[in-house]
Chain A
């Protein structure tokens, strides 16, 4: 049952990162709506119930000019509020930790399987593929694939980022000039591109198609068109493209 449901979600989703995001976002939203509805209902109820009417009287403890008002309030209620909130927040923290562990702990990259001898699911080593470098420039993205192992020149492409479907893709993101942020919009994953630093993220695309990549940090006059296209291809097509470069 569980795996089947998981497979169903995967069928609908574009990538594993989107699944992680959607699950966590739903958890937050269920609880947010629950809390919000209670609070707003309570507020509206109290305001309507206790609104001033022609025949209503000031409460006995109404503050009057000329005297410091009496101190009200019960520590018990504060304690209850804080405890209830803490339970909700703990659930959110635990959920967030599990999700971020997934997002920031890349497994072995598998995008290069079948491209290099010694790499592949059938190979005895099941080796980790080299990472793909993503570099932000004012105002375009550049993707560098290690072309032939080892120590061969990189194959670099601008504007278009091709990856094989269902493979694990691990990318190292950096910047050549100013602060950018690399985000694959439908995959709900992004990381900052900072000069002199490398940030690693990973994803596993579930469906063929083209996806919008955009810069998410104001980086200058061309920021709004600093886009790229992620193309998810069937593995054979990807390999054919890769070998033709």
Chain B
């Protein structure tokens, strides 16, 4: 069936690259996962309502507990927030779209297929069943020989890819595409919160990706990073929680942004100390990278380390103090309009206070020796993740619903929704604080424990909270058609999105607004702007430039995501290599091949498609004024790559320092061949520079020769590498299955080799285009971008060479 025959409406949603439509897709999908994960939670609460219950088998309970956690953390909280970010942020900063609209669509489709992979895991021998933290060594194929865990890991890898693309996109958008005069300090708190969140994402998720990669290789090829005692549990703990603690703030900060801006709107006052709120968020984001040890207080990392982590963790509560106090001070001499959005956001602050204070308990290494792994922890983080994040984001849903649909929701029903949610929430989670002796994640418990009454209470609260959410969906769905017309600015808010009609037109702004020195907005030549009344229909007004958002539709993002989905299904669905002794499994190669072929076709189509994004010239782009969008995107991406390789190298150090013996220098690989590879790669960096210089001076022959030389040197590098790999394998003693020296060598150099290979594919693509005479007339940027990547890959080798060959 050709695309033309598809009904136009479906095609529109499949091919859309418009940030508002993608925002809606994110919101709907995340709410779907919210309901799914919520149903899992209610089933678990039913199971726990009475002791010795067998409604759910222990196996199923463990799957539910795991998938509930994974779905809520990865597929609900962040995507829910990024639905708003997609829709609202370009409007708030006065941009027409995100910097890379097709990449944005691709992020969404990766998100959708990643969720599909996670849900499918239930049907392949059981979903992951060892907790969302996926602790080693239970994740080894030996202990968990299920394809379901593979699929779960595939889902996680896909969503990390989605998140990485998204963070690059938002970062470039917010640094490069703000309306003229819109300085960073003029942004409301919500975009700030998202900006800080994506910085955390950018530096936390690569660690998780590296951990998942090592886990996958362990499971598929029988390597030893997590199944050995030298790596094992503590290696996973370190790389997981290095990611995991920032992740906690990643799911929290967007909600804080929503809460702060909604509170300002509904109290009719400027936010008290908004710059201190933002400063506190930055401080908390930085500290979040040095507190991960508090998740390992009782793993035996040593008295001194645990004390240091106690101090950093308790210190991270200070910035949150400042945020909460600033929000409360905003109420002074205010005019508080208790609309549903205000109730939810103020309620979220109250619940956050309880969640935050109990977090200080868990920051204490001494108390953690009693509280670790108990329901006290469960209560604490649900007060944060549900109480602050979900309640805050639901507040955001009520807040922006009129903007997205042009209709008002039913205020009375929304208030009832709040009352039931708030009371239900506290009946659900407060008893868990009192269950501070009960282990979390147990499928059932004996009557003699005395835990029954509190559990029953908690279950009742769970059903009140869960059923209350039906009111939300009924209200919003009914209001889509029947709600009263909202007008552009029903809340009399000040941020830019409210200056547009509700819902905004496809191209957002007829004329890009400008913010004058005195802080007033200007649209075209209209000076000032009346308070939300009479939006001028200014399609061609004033001297502002007029651009309509082209019907920017592209079939390729969804195809690329689908190809990746097939590819990951292929590498994760398979048979145990040896069914009698399940230690590794065999990927299903036909699917892998299909996915790879489709992926190459789709990426080719993607790169050939004429899809130009208009870059406004007269925009605020401090501090990256001189850097074009794509280049900033690549720099950002390389920043994430640094963390990724950092974790791989860190893992190598970890297992090496924990190993009693390690082969001596020169006994494994010849220093000569390592030296040769270093020379080859460094030379290729030079030829990459020559390619750029040739392109700049317009010398086609120089460009071709340099690119060809770069490609040839890449071939030479991989040839030497392959020879080394084969000779090591041929000796038999040094296959991956032989221990950690081989494991770390093959994985680290292998991942680097794949990067070299990807770079060579890029040179081929550039060569083909150069043959057609491109890149010579000032359009040399592609050569420059390739060069950045190639130099990075070379620099990584400069680190790997001494680490593996010389010490």
Which A residues lie at the B interface, using CB under 8 A? 17, 20-21, 24-25, 28, 32, 35-36, 39-40, 42-43, 46-47, 50-52, 56-59, 61-75, 77-78, 81-82, 85-86, 89, 92-93, 95-97, 99-101, 103-105, 177-179, 181, 183, 185-186, 188-192, 194-201, 212, 214-224
Q: Tell me, yes or no, whether B303 is within 8 Å of chain A by CB.
A: yes
Select A63's contact among B329, B349, B494, beta carbons within 8 Å: B494
Instruction: Output the least CB separation between B91 and chain A (Å).
Output: 13
Task: Knowing A67-B494, A218-B441 are in contact, say whether A28-B303 is a contact too (CB < 8 A).
Answer: no
Query: Does B646 sit within 8 A of A, measured CB to CB?
Result: no
What 1/0 mask marks residues of chain B from 299 to 316 whose CB sits below 8 Å from any chain A CB? 110010011001100110
- Which residues does B use to contact A, with CB under 8 Å? 58-59, 61-62, 65, 129-131, 135-138, 143, 186, 229-230, 232-234, 264-265, 267-276, 298-300, 303, 306-307, 310-311, 314-315, 317-318, 321-322, 324-326, 328-329, 331-338, 346, 349-350, 353-354, 357-358, 360-361, 364-367, 369-370, 372-374, 437, 439-445, 449, 489, 492-495, 498-499, 515, 518-521, 528-532
| Residue of B whose beta carbon sits closest to that of A101 | B303
A218 to B44, CA, bound (A): 15
Choose among A24, A81, A189, A218 the residue that contacts B62 (Cβ–Cβ < 8 A): A218
A72 with B372: CB separation less than 8 A:
no
**Quick one: which of A40, A46, A75 has the most chain B CB within 10 A?**
A46
Q: Are B369 and A212 in contact (CB under 8 A)?
A: no
Would A96 and B529 be within 8 Å (CB), given that A46-B332, A196-B232 are in contact?
no
CB nearest to B65 among chain A residues: A218
**Quick check: A50 and B334 within 8 Å, CB to CB?**
yes
Give the distance to chain A from B82, nearest Cβ to Cβ, in Å: 25
Establish whether residues A73 and B370, one from each chain, have CB atoms under 8 Å apart when the complex forms: no
* Residues on B with beta carbons closer than 8 Å to the beta carbon of A92: 314, 360, 364
18 pairs of residues in contact across A and B, judged by CB atoms under 8 Å:
A21-B370, A25-B370, A52-B336, A65-B521, A66-B531, A69-B264, A71-B275, A73-B274, A78-B273, A78-B325, A81-B321, A86-B318, A97-B310, A178-B138, A188-B370, A190-B298, A196-B230, A218-B62
- A51 to B442 CA separation, bound complex (whole angstroms): 45
**B contact residues around A40 at 8 Å (CB):** 350, 353
Q: Are A224 and B444 in contact (CB under 8 A)?
A: yes
Known contacts A43-B349, A96-B310, A179-B233; decide if A212 and B528 are in contact (CB<8 Å). Answer: no
Q: Is the beta-carbon distance between B335 and A24 smaller than 8 angstroms?
A: no
Given the known inter-chain contacts A68-B515, A195-B137, A214-B439, please indicate yes or no for A59 contacting B276, CB distance below 8 A: no
Q: Which of A73, A100, A194, A200 contacts B307 (CB 8 A)?
A: A100
B220 CB → nearest A CB, Å: 20
- The contact of A39 among B62, B232, B328, B518, by CB within 8 Å, is B328
Residues of A within 8 Å of B443, CB to CB, are 223-224
Give the chain A neighbours of B230 by CB distance below 8 A.
Answer: 196
* With A65-B531, A72-B273, A177-B143 as contacts: A59 and B58 at CB distance below 8 Å: no
| Complex contacts, A100 vs chain B, CB 8 Å | 303, 306-307, 310, 364-366, 369
Beta-carbon contact of B373 and A36 below 8 Å: no
Are A24 and B442 in contact, CB atoms less than 8 angstroms apart? Answer: no
Chain A neighbourhood of B445, CB < 8 A: 224
User: What are the residues of chain B within 8 A of A96 when measuring CB–CB?
Assistant: 310, 364-367
Chain A residue at smallest Cβ distance from B324? A39
Q: Are B373 and A183 in contact (CB under 8 A)?
A: yes
Closest 5 CB pairs of A and B: A196-B229, A73-B273, A216-B373, A66-B529, A99-B366
